[in-house]
């Protein structure tokens, strides 16, 4: 397994996709920073708090950019073996189909964590440049925890995306799928059902912003059920699929 993860890392060497994903991860902190500049121009006397900036950035990451960006890198990781026609080599080495999926999942998790830390770190740096107020160790730790919880839960929710990628062996349906998921986030933003929709439930859990109608357990259950169903569908499908 260590060797498999090592080879997965090696496959990313010089890969443009990694650089592109870093730019994608920078989008949310930059958006928040631009919003801050605008706000400062209009109301120069009002303070801007670090905790606010972190929480807004995490909102954008989890509900908008993350679902799309992590969907794209998920599709890239799994689909490239079809596109570059390398899957048959791996499976005749032989690597078992389960370890293949497992090693990709480990890499996806690392990748999402890196992007999460980039978004968090950039928010911190931009806040320092913009002289936001209210910086404390407590704020930093709390926000870092919220970012990491959100990123990890979105990672769990990548399994349906993997299934869609395996099913169609093409980027386009996967990207449409993640776009639809993101639309769902937007549509439910002001409704209590967001606690039940797995992808927006991620933000509720990370931000502790539960709605009175549904207890937190419902949100956890929605996420875990989706992740497990996605994983089972992926494994069952991939195990019996012919490799062409």
Partner 1 sequence: MSAIIKTTHLTKAYGTQKAVDNLHMTVEQGQIYGFLGQNGAGKTTTIRMLLGLIKPTQGQIEIFGENLLTKQKEILRRVGSIVEFSGFYENLTARENLLINAKLMGVHKKNAIEEALEIVGLQNEPAKLVGKYSLGMKQRLGIARAILHHPELLILDEPTNGLDPIGIKEIRKLITTLAEERKITILISSHILSEVEQLADQIGIIHQGKLLEEISFAELRTRNRKFLEFQVSNDNKAAMLLEQRFDIFDYEVHDDGKIRVYSHIGQQGKINKMLVEHDIEVSRIALSEDRLEDYFIKLIGGGTIG
CA distances in angstroms from 88 to 92, 202, 244, listed in the order given: 6, 36, 8
Residue placing its CB nearer to partner 1 in the complex, 156 or 235: 235
Interaction of residue 213 with partner 1, rule CB under 8 A:
no
Least distance from C-beta 12 to partner 1, angstroms? 8
What residues numbered 90-109 form the site for partner 1, per CB under 8 A?
90-96
Total residues contacting partner 1 (rule CB under 8 A)? Answer: 27
Position 239 contacts partner 1 (CB under 8 A): no
Query: Is residue 243 at the binding interface for partner 1, with CB under 8 A as the rule?
Result: yes
Q: Minimal distance in Å, beta carbon 30 to partner 1?
A: 27
CB of 240 to partner 1, least distance (A): 8
**Least distance from C-beta 95 to partner 1, angstroms?**
6
For residues 52-91, which are near partner 1 according to CB under 8 A?
Answer: 84-91
Q: Which is nearer to partner 1, 96 or 208 (CB)?
A: 96
14 binds partner 1 (CB under 8 A): yes
Residue 225: count of CB within 10 angstroms of its CB: 11
Of 3 and 136, the one with the shorter C-beta distance to partner 1 is 3
Counting contacts by CB under 8 A, is residue 11 touching partner 1? yes
Burial code (b: 16+ CB inside 10 Å, e: under 16) for 55-88 equals bbbbbbbbbbbbbebbbbbbbbbbbbbbeeeebe
Residue 42 makes contact with partner 1 by CB under 8 A: no
Tell me which residues touch partner 1 (CB under 8 A).
3-4, 6-7, 10-11, 13-16, 84-96, 240, 242-244
């Amino acid at each position: 397994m260590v060797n498999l993860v090592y080879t997965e890392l090696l496959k990313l060497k010089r890969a443009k996709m990694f650089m592109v994903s870093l730019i994608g991860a920078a989008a949310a902190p930059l958006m928040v920073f631009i919003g801050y500049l605008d706000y400062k121009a209009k109301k120069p006397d009002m303070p801007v708090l670090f905790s606010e900036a972190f929480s807004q950035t995490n909102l954008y990451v989890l509900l908008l950019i993350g679902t799309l960006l992590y969907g794209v890198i998920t599709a890239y990781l799994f689909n490239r073996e079809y596109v570059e026609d390398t899957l048959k080599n791996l499976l005749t080495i032989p690597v078992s189909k389960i370890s293949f999926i497992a090693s990709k999942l480990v890499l996806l998790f690392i990748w999402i964590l890196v992007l999460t830390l980039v978004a968090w770190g950039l928010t911190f740096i931009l806040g320092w440049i913009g002289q936001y107020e209210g910086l404390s160790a407590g704020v930093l730790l709390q926000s870092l925890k919220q970012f990491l919880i959100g990123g990890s839960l979105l990672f769990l929710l990548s399994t349906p995306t993997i299934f869609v990628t395996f099913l169609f062996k093409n980027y386009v349906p996967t990207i449409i799928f993640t776009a639809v998921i993101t639309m769902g986030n937007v549509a439910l933003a002001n409704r209590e059902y967001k606690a039940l929709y797995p992808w927006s439930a991620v933000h509720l859990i990370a931000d502790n912003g539960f709605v009175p109608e549904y207890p937190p357990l419902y949100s956890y259950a929605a996420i875990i059920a989706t992740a497990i169903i996605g994983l089972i569908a992926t494994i069952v499908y991939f195990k019996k699929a012919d490799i062409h």
